[in-house]
Amino acid sequence: MSNTYHFAIGTKVILEGLEKRPELNGKLSIVLSRMQGGRQNVEIDGTPMSVAVGKLSLAERALDTLHKEELESILRFHVGTSDSDLRGLDLSELKSKVEAMKTKVDPLEIA
């Protein structure tokens, strides 16, 4: 997996494995920024904060509700797909790749 992986701005994620703020684990948050120094800014209950990218997972959602950037993020994170391999794929092609991946990865953090 690439060290430059990040979630798309606007992606709904769930915090996991936070040691300094364990009360935030399991909280739904929204990504507010691109990755900087291995961290991304997220909003939790209306409060912005910075978290390590490895402490985020995609919120469980139906495949049909995911937008293009979220599908690309899933493929980068779970499969290690490169940006060049994603270039030119349309929404239906991305959904097909994620759907195919769901049968190979268990458990997958999307519905």
Sorted by sequence, the CB contacts under 8 Å of residue 32 that are 6+ apart come out as: 9, 40, 41, 42, 43, 48
CA gap 36, 76 in Å, rounded: 17
**Average pLDDT of the segment spanning 62-88:** 80
Instruction: Give residue-wise pLDDT tens across range 14-40.
Output: 888 888 888 888 888 888 888 888 888
More confident residue, 95 or 56: 95
